[in-house]
Amino acid sequence: MFNLFKKVLGRTSKAIKGVVPTKKKSISKEEFEDILLEADVNYALVERLLKSLPNTINRIQAFNSLISVFQYKANWKEPETTPFVEMIIGVNGAGKTTTIAKLAHRYQSQGKGVILGAGDTFRAAAIEQLSRWATKLNLPIVATQQGHDPSAVVYDTIESAKAKGLEHVIIDTAGRLHTQTNLSEELKKMIRIAHKAQEGAPHRKLLILDGTQGSSAINQAKAFHEMIEIDGIIITKLDGTAKGGALLSIADELQMPIFYIGTGEQPKDLIDFKANAYINTILDEIFV
């Protein structure tokens, strides 16, 4: 786990070394502030974290300060319902389709049956891309033509999962329509239809956030959360940015679970997010 986080936070670690070139037993408050800002932690959060710290900071004090950001109650609980229906939300380009493939592969490796629903009917490319992943992973998929009603895809996917006795349903959604109002109404309708097909569905609404956007992804998350109440987050592309500290800002602002981190482009490249491992990976670059 630590090695994987080290890989994901490689560029962030280099940015930290630009502030503190050699590891130390302790650092000054000013150095810690520069490190956090360089890693794209929100300024207001940095100031709050520093307030309770002494002028000279050791590793334990730094760890306790950073881990406090994750001490909120994330009250989502996985239901025992079958099929377990997940809806994947996010703007175009955040890595939604690839993340769906990673989730599907994860469930497959656990011996579970999975079906995909190509609910982003706004873009023909999205349907084609998800269909290619379904073929590659040997998964059933419910797909229609561009412009068709995505709620029909939702209903048919869930019904197909029930008929086939499959444990997992993963549904893609559009990331952008002509207006925000259109997107909001479409997502709400998809959720209503999912509930008609399977009580309590979708059981988990996951928001995909592009790690390269850093703290600016927070506004995206808030907009989607206001629309449909997101249950948790998956962070993608973190290995391609020095903004790894943005996870602290995201967690602090949104107060919702970060479930997974994408670590690459292959189906296996998805790991559970562990706050302790994440923070220790950052601190390993600072302290001896």
Going along 79-229, which residue ranges are E strands?
A: 84-89, 114-117, 141-142, 168-172, 204-210
Q: Return the percentage of the chain with pLDDT > 70, whole number.
A: 97
Residue given tokens 């023909």 in the structure block: 124
pTM: 0.93
What kind and span of H or E run contains 30? helix 29-38
What's the pLDDT at 126? 94
For residue 2, pLDDT over 60 is answered with: no
pLDDT in tens, 158-202: 999 999 999 999 999 998 755 778 889 999 999 999 999 999 999
Domains of the chain, residue spans: 2-72, 84-273
Distances (CA, A) of 103 to 183, 189, 240, 268: 24, 24, 20, 9
Q: Does CATH number 3.40.50.300 belong to domain 84-273?
A: yes
The answer to whether the beta carbons of residues 83 and 166 sit under 8 Å apart is yes
The answer to whether the beta carbons of residues 83 and 168 sit under 8 Å apart is yes
pLDDT in tens, 60-99: 999 999 999 999 887 778 888 899 999 999 998 899 999 9
What's the pLDDT at 76? 77
